[in-house]
Copies of this chain bind each other. A is one copy, B any other.
Amino acid sequence: MDGSVVKRIACIGSGNVASSLLPALYGAGYKIVQVCSRNLQTAQQLAKVVGATSTDKLTDINPNVDIYIIAVPDDEIENVLRKTTFGDGIVVHTSGSTPMGIFAKRDIPHYGVFYPLQVFTRHSVNFMRVPLYVEASDSIAMDELLFMARKLSVEVYKITSEKRMLLHIAAVFACNFSNHLLTIAARLLHDEELSYLSLKPLIKETFERAMQVDNPEQLQTGPAARGDSKIVNHHIEALAGYPLTQQIYKLISESIMGKELDAKNVEL
């Protein structure tokens, strides 16, 4: 590993992860050689930002790069691997839940996973605070990926595929699912001709408090946390017009009331 040699990168994918990751790598001194995407327009746009060439053909992938980054939706990684002939560079994907084993049956000498734990949108993210989780097939790949990760972020961890998936699941609960609960709240209010905006002070307070603790359980409030099953039942009745939302209300209330702990205890 010689810091004075500029490493060359090709990227397959031009979506949110690629659009955040490539400019950060470019800024960290990497040479972005090529962006490949079936959406040629976004590939061209991103390539322009990082001084790369662009293509929409997997068969045109440059064979002379050090690291190939596959930043596509999980269910397309397999397809990309099947159609691409890589050079000798390290091949990584950026997925939370696809096992590294997906590379094993391919004729790829060095491979790994480079998983950034963040919600990426097209706007820029300060990568220095994004936790990066790295897995690799061997020490050569691991050294290269750790070096790259540490160029980008102060939070770099090695992780197994199994733990990475659990981390992704935790992120789905904390981020994707929380956002959906806000959506449910907005939908209920909309149907009653009430304003979602009035909830914002409450949402702000909730999450500012959650950011200040190590375990959000200690902040739990509400009817279920108080064990007020009368109110819980009133709410469940009031949601009769929303059968799925009603089920979600019921299950989360049970979970707050500690039923999960019982279930786990039974199994242990």
Q: By the criterion CB–CB under 8 Å, are A173 and B179 in contact?
A: no
In the assembled complex, A183 has its CB within 8 A of some CB on chain B? yes
Decide if A205 touches B243 in the complex (CB within 8 Å): no
With beta carbons under 8 angstroms apart, the residue of B169, B171, B251 that contacts A202 is B171
Which residues of the partner chain B approach A167 to less than 8 Å between Cβ atoms? 189, 192, 194, 198
* Segment from A43-51, A80-88, A208-216 that makes contact with B: A208-216
- A107 touches B (CB below 8 Å): no
Contacts A171-B202, A255-B184 hold; do A119 and B74 have CB atoms under 8 A apart? Answer: no
Counting CB contacts under 8 A, is A224 at the interface?
A: yes
Give every chain B residue within 8 A of A200 (Cβ-Cβ). Answer: 211
CB of A122 within 8 A of chain B? no
User: Across the interface, do A179 and B210 meet the contact criterion of CB distance under 8 Å?
Assistant: yes
Instruction: State how many copies of this chain the complex holds.
Output: 2
- Residues of chain B lying within 8 A (CB to CB) of residue A239: 169
* Interface residue A234 (Cβ < 8 Å from any Cβ of B): yes
Contact string, A147-190, partner B, CB cutoff 8 A, digits 1/0?
A: 00000000101000001011111111111111111111111110
Whether A244 contacts B259 in the complex (CB less than 8 A), given A181-B174, A182-B174, comes out as yes
Q: A119-B202, A181-B177 are in contact. Are A244 and B216 (CB under 8 A)?
A: no
Interface size class of A (residues with CB under 8 A): 35 or more
Q: How far is the CB of A185 from chain B (nearest CB, A)?
A: 4
With A176-B256, A245-B260 in contact, is A204–B196 under 8 Å at CB?
no
Query: Given the known A-B contacts A174-B206, A251-B251, A252-B180, are A201 and B130 also in contact in the complex, defined by CB atoms under 8 Å?
Result: yes
Flag if A173 contacts B184 (CB, 8 Å): yes
Scan residues 211-253 of chain A and give those whose CB is less than 8 A from a CB of chain B. Answer: 211, 214-217, 219-226, 228, 230-231, 234-235, 238-239, 241-245, 247-249, 251-252
- Tell me whether B214 and A196 are in contact (CB under 8 A): yes
A6 within 8 A of B: no
Q: Which residue of B lies closest to A123 (CB)?
A: B209
Q: Can you name the residue of chain B whose Cβ is closest to the Cβ of A239?
A: B169
Instruction: Using CB atoms and an 8 Å cutoff, list the residues of chain A in contact with chain B.
Output: 73-75, 97-98, 117-119, 121, 125, 129-131, 155, 157, 163, 165-189, 191-192, 194, 196-207, 209-211, 214-217, 219-226, 228, 230-231, 234-235, 238-239, 241-245, 247-249, 251-252, 254-256, 259-260, 263-264, 267
Ranked 8 nearest A-B pairs via Cβ? A176-B222, A174-B185, A170-B185, A207-B207, A182-B216, A244-B260, A131-B198, A183-B217
